[in-house]
Amino acid sequence: MKRRAPQVPFERLREFCSVQLRRCRKIAKIIYHAARSSGLTGSFRSVRSAIDRLDFVQFTIRGRLLASKVRTLRNPIDFGQLGKREPIVLSVVRNGMPWLKSFLAHHRQIGIRAFVILDNGSQDASVEHLMAQPDVILLQSEAPYNSYENTFKRYLCDRFGMGRWCLFVDVDELFYYPGISTKSVQELTGFLDGEGFDAALTQMLDMFANMPMGEIPDTTDLDPVEVFPFYETASINRTPFLKRFGNIVPDYLEKFSGGVRFRVFGSENSLTKVSLFANSGRLRPFHLWHNVRNAKLADCSFALLHFPFNRTFRDKVIEAVSTGRYGWVTDDEYDAYAKVMEVNPSLNLMSEHSCGLTGPMQLVDEGFLTISSEFGDWLAAK
């Protein structure tokens, strides 16, 4: 006698069909508007970029494909030795040696005891250096970054960071916050837990040197804060951080864009990320690249000191333009970098608005970072 196939409940079938229909309508709408607003080439780019932004594409389709494309090179961490919600640092790295030593040292100094790093095709000594670190879980994948960027990130968080605080930073970024000299990052996330928050905004601050890029020394063994001590906020565009995606957002939080990259290159790049979050399963990170869903955002913000403008910046730009490594979303940004660097390869980013960084409270006083009275009380407490 033939065995009958299991019956799918009607409500589940209807819900599945409804979800797929909504996705098809969204894609059709994207194609329609792209075709009306630009030519054939522009339409293709717009459609590809918009479809890539869909969670269904990034996390359902590519998420299922990714597991077979990742291999573990080293896993020395016993998570049982960490606190239940103790924060870990996660990152995707390619050719990171100019920053790796300072990246690890800085985050260790503020209390991080475990790093999860995925190497994506490094051709320098990054893998060898990371293999020698006792507190680094190292994975590797050759999957294309321009398609899998957010998929990589959520994969790492869901595999290694479920149920704990995750600090996702690029290798050329350093997490920086008021109280950094006296309060560990564990104490910081403990404060956020105590206040009922499960995510915090991080504002990216581009740092640079007072010298032509071609004269900047090799930073592999140097402190980037000493080599690149300058920043500016005059060209930053500020808008309210929107209350959407199921997030609870304090009224005064802001989204930043532009900055020195806008002044020099005309690039209106976003400077605001949600890089620190408690990965509960309900909160979903990396929605539309740097946002989250279903989070209660803290009433204070922190900084990511960003050090892209080293001696390898021009080579990175040339590679990005020729290979499209960073995807359709950032093609225009790297094209803008390339045009300026071609005309002025010895570019110096200093202006009359540049100033030296002396500490995190300087950024609070300038309005770049926000702190609440409760955060201030926590800072003052011994």
> Which percentage of the chain shows pLDDT scores above 70?
84
* Predicted structure pTM score: 0.85
> For residue 275, which of 87, 146, 111 has the smallest C-alpha distance?
87
201-224 tens-digit pLDDT: 999 999 999 999 889 999 999 999
| Residue type (1 letter), 368 | F
pLDDT, mean of residues 190-198? 97
Q: How confident is the model at residue 58 (pLDDT cuts 50, 70, 90)?
A: confident
Q: What 3-state class would DSSP assign to 4?
A: coil
| Segment 111-138, tens digit of pLDDT | 999 999 999 999 999 999 999 999 999 9
More confident residue, 338 or 86: 86
Closest CA to 75 of 26, 118, 13: 118
> What is the predicted pLDDT for the residue at 365?
96
Q: Please give the span between the terminal C-alpha atoms of the chain, in angstroms, as a whole number.
A: 76
Closest CA to 204 of 305, 337, 298, 103: 305
67-380, which class in CATH?
Answer: alpha beta
Averaged pLDDT, 134-146 = 96
pLDDT band, residue 191 (cuts 50/70/90): very high
Structure tokens at 74: 């080293």
Residue closest to 253 by CA, chosen among 299, 210, 191, 315:
299
Residue 256: its pLDDT value, please? 97
64-73, 150-159, 253-262, 318-327: range with lowest mean pLDDT: 318-327
Please tell me the predicted confidence (pLDDT) of residue 23: 59
Average pLDDT score over residue span 302-319: 89
DSSP 8-state symbol, 69: G
Q: Above 60 in pLDDT, residue 89?
A: yes
Q: Report which DSSP code applies to 367.
A: T
- For the segment 60-76, the average pLDDT, to the nearest whole number, is 93
| Residue 373 in this model has a pLDDT that exceeds 60 | yes
Supply angle C-alpha 271, 228, 187, rounded to 5. 60
Spell out the residues 6+ positions from residue 195 whose beta carbon is closer than 8 angstroms to its own: 298, 299, 374
Q: Domains of the chain: which residue ranges?
A: 67-380
Q: How confident is the model at residue 5 (pLDDT cuts 50, 70, 90)?
A: very low
Q: What is the DSSP string of 356-372?
A: E---HHHHHHTTSS---
* The amino acid at 288: L
Of 319, 102, 312, 122, the C-alpha closest to 218 is 312
For 121, list phi and psi in degrees, rounded to 5. Answer: 90, 30
Q: How far is CA 296 from the centre of its chain?
A: 19
Residue-level pLDDT at 229: 98
Judge whether 109 and 176 are in contact, CB under 8 Å: no
Report the alpha-carbon distance of residue 297 to residue 289 in Å, rounded.
Answer: 17
